[in-house]
Amino acid sequence: MASSLGGADKLLNPFKIYSLPVESWINHTIFFLVDRLRPFFQAIRFPFSLVLDGIEWVFLAIPPLILLPIIGLVVWQLAGRRIAIFSIVALIVLGFLGVWQETMMTLSFMGTAVLFCILIGIPIGIACASNYRIDRVVQPILDFMQTLPLFIYLVPIVMLFGIGKVPGVIATLIVAIPPLIRLTTLGIRQVSKEVVEAAIAFGSTKRQVLWEVQIPLAMRTILAGLNQTIMAALSMTVIASMIAVEGLGMMVLRGTASLNIGQASIGGLGIALLAIMLDRITQAIGQGNHQVSWQERGPIGFILSKVKNKKAASTYSGS
């Protein structure tokens, strides 16, 4: 009786008899890559390290009282006066909370990741929009990248690239790049076919149609993708701190590990302020009036208007 029940159980539950050794396959693949291609992956670190160290050095070398006006002027030029004032106030609050250095390290870390997302993601998005075969290959990969738990990326990244800031940037790149690729593809495909056909009828080449028609008209959607990429990169700051990435995320991790609620709260508040600031900047750029030239807005427009008024006043008084 027992043997017949056991046979029925095996018949009705074949998963007890055999399971795919996927775990073993993945481990062997990672060990193979580590043994054979470790120098290659170490070489990939160089451009990331170069950019990250350069940005971090600039942010930390410039005194806060000089860097704050520079950031304010740049944000004013890109996103408007109100967003610039909010950004300066947010950074001043973080400075008085005693986390200025951690904030600059987080900004440099996140800025490097977003920069490489732009350099890699937008060309891939353009290629997907131009070629449906490429899109069919890329979209399942993006689905896989966006649905995997974030912690899974850390183990192979550490084995292939080691620990530290650069592996953290690479892990953040993998997590943050899918929205930019998807929305770049979507934005270009949403450009009216009549507009594209009109540009071709006037003698535009494929390159001119792309850079002078499709990308400008898709820019708002691309910037929405950039906004999502920035938010995804910020969400990785705490997770990346597990592989020795310093910054606000490390404060949250250390505070949580030692039950120091104040330290974890300050780190979390810093990440939240940065997220709000960068979200407002990218939204303002995406929703801004693109018909107004960059020479007519921000501090540059303010200075040029003053110069024009002085010239007009001197001309009027001379006449």
- Render pLDDT for 252-301 as a digit per residue (tens, 0 to 9): 988 988 888 888 899 999 999 998 898 888 888 877 655 566 666 667 77
> Would 150 be classed as within a structural domain?
yes
User: Structural domain tally of the chain?
Assistant: 1
Predicted TM-score (pTM) of this structure: 0.84
> Would 33 be classed as within a structural domain?
no
> Would 148 be classed as within a structural domain?
yes
CB atoms within 10 A of CB 43: 10
| C-alpha span between 60 and 120 (Å, rounded) | 27
Residue-number span of the structural domain to which 235 is assigned: 44-303
Per-residue model confidence as pLDDT tens digits over 162-197? 888 888 899 899 989 999 999 999 999 988 888 888
> Would 314 be classed as within a structural domain?
no
> Would 170 be classed as within a structural domain?
yes
> Would 36 be classed as within a structural domain?
no
Domain with residue 233: its CATH number is 1.10.3720.10
> Would 16 be classed as within a structural domain?
no
> Would 208 be classed as within a structural domain?
yes
At 238, list the tokens: 């705490």
